[in-house]
Amino acid sequence: MIDTDIIISSDNNTFKSTIFENNLRIIKPPDTIETIFDSSNIASEQLSSALKGIKLIAVLGWSSQGPAHAQNIRDSIAKANLDIKVIIGLRDSSSSRQAAVEAEFTVVSNEEAAKSADIVSMLISDSGQVDDGERYIDLMKPGSTLLFAHGFYLGWREQAGLPALRNDINIIGVCPKGMGPSVRKAYQIGSGINSSFAVEQNNSGNALDTALAYSAMIGSPYTFLTTLGSEWRSDIFGERAVLLGGVHGTIEGLASEVMKANGSDEQATYLEVVQSMMGPITDTILDSGFRGLVDKLSDDDKQQFMDAYNAAYDGYKSVVDDIYENVSSGREIASVVNENKQNKPFENISDGPLWSNTIELRESQRASGYPYNTINPVAAGMYIACMVAQIDKLREMGHHWSEVINESVIEAVASLNPYIKSGGVDYMVDNCSITARRGDRAWFKKFEAATEKAHRNLESYNNSTKYEEFTNHKVHAALEQFAKYRPVDAEGSPVNIAIEVLPEALKKWRATKNS
């Protein structure tokens, strides 16, 4: 039962809330109207009203999103002086139990947590949800709320032809557009990571306000409307395309071509490709959009950007077309579930010379404040072509601009790319979910091949009309609109999670990975 105050159509993506009426913003990207929830200046009374009757929130799982949700919610509850407790549900054999206890949470079994909580946040792994999700859901109290941070489980049920879940509970989604560590770190510095939200089943009548309150408590500065069906399609697709597989493959393909010109000089290639893409290119897109980046280029560099964009777009678009069809059909989900059941090992994606021979360079760049700050126009043209190819596909498939921009641009430049900049491609990819990690490895070589082909044929695409289409693309107006609704720091500057907490986290992660 979808709330009647929610309107999702081809030309409208809006919602209403009496409790949060003053926090709703109407935005008008090209060809549509959308509502954005702005969580700044939320009063304790608003949270108390939205969460009326909620006494216990159970977070099931302690992997990527679990620690962030649990700790952010607990901190938000304390700030608002709410009488709500947060507990953690884990398997008895879970290796994460000690970490949750050290974070000073009460830890119980998943079964006990599901039985007792008023809100159950289903944050166990995707494979865990496939194996045990319905059993936990069946234990929930009638009238309680089931929350997903990702629609994978519902997507799996859909492709498997399983019936709908029980109808006597609320089913909502609050889905951060970034990995769990970013959600926590951004909250701690007074910023946040944007989220989407969905109301799939409104048994109690207040599921929408519950979702908005939850999003505010995990620290999302801005929250936009979607459905979990749209979310899992765009999210699983985006991981395999721009967010992970696309940027990974573009880097590898460009590095391969540039290294030929550099005489196999990995360090020079790293600066020219990786540092340029993850540093000034990412930062400029975050700050000024695509047009802002082009405007920074000299006339000669603009020509190189145009040539690269023209050469790369069609190849990337072919890859993203294949990915979306594979995801939406359910084949990608079925593949992930099958590989998880087989416990298929993950290949090492950082043992090539580009990564293994530049560790000291990365550390010196970080220690000196990343002094290499040159925009490589070819890298910029290809990377933005990859982004626009994904944007075009999502729009073709009916996704609203808020989802498209957050999934294709903001999540990349504000949340994920800094992990490559700080620690290498595996630091980004392998800090994500197992579903995302499998997706990157399944598809990045397709982008690598498309990039290499485009680079070898730059001059033959000089007369392509793709760049002309880009200059008139509606994405520029959309980016200008959504630039007002991106995470910022206390001074109002766009937040890039390449902050000083990342190097310390990197040390811990490397030690764990190498042990």
Q: What is the pLDDT averaged over residues 245-270?
A: 92
End-to-end Cα separation, the chain, in angstroms: 49
Contact (Cβ atoms closer than 8 angstroms) between residue 224 and residue 402 = yes
Residue 483 CB contacts under 8 Å (≥ 6 apart), including other chains: 289
Distance CA 459, CA 310 (A): 10
pLDDT digits (tens, 9 = 90+) for 120-152: 999 999 999 999 999 999 999 999 999 999 999
pLDDT band at 508 (very low <50, low <70, confident <90, very high): low
> 201: helix, coil or strand?
strand
Q: Nearest-CA neighbor of 226 among 30, 391, 399, 25?
A: 399
The confidence score (pLDDT) of residue 500 equals 41
pLDDT band at 463 (very low <50, low <70, confident <90, very high): low
The confidence score (pLDDT) of residue 19 equals 97
Contact (Cβ atoms closer than 8 angstroms) between residue 46 and residue 20 = yes
Considering the chain, what is the average pLDDT of its residues? 92
Q: What is the pLDDT averaged over residues 38-50?
A: 95
pLDDT band at 206 (very low <50, low <70, confident <90, very high): very high
Element (H, E) at 114: helix 110-116
Distance CA 445, CA 253 (A): 8
Percentage of residues in the chain with pLDDT exceeding 70?
A: 93
Q: What is the pLDDT averaged over residues 289-307?
A: 96
Contact (Cβ atoms closer than 8 angstroms) between residue 268 and residue 262 = yes
Distance CA 39, CA 50 (A): 13
The confidence score (pLDDT) of residue 4 equals 56
The confidence score (pLDDT) of residue 388 equals 98
Q: What is the pLDDT averaged over residues 258-282?
A: 92
pLDDT band at 185 (very low <50, low <70, confident <90, very high): confident
Q: What is the pLDDT averaged over residues 368-390?
A: 96
Q: Give the residue numbers marked as catalytic.
A: 150
pLDDT at 501 over 50: no
pLDDT at 468 over 80: yes
What DSSP assignment string belongs to 375-411? --HHHHHHHHHHHHHHHHHHHHTT--HHHHHIIIIIH
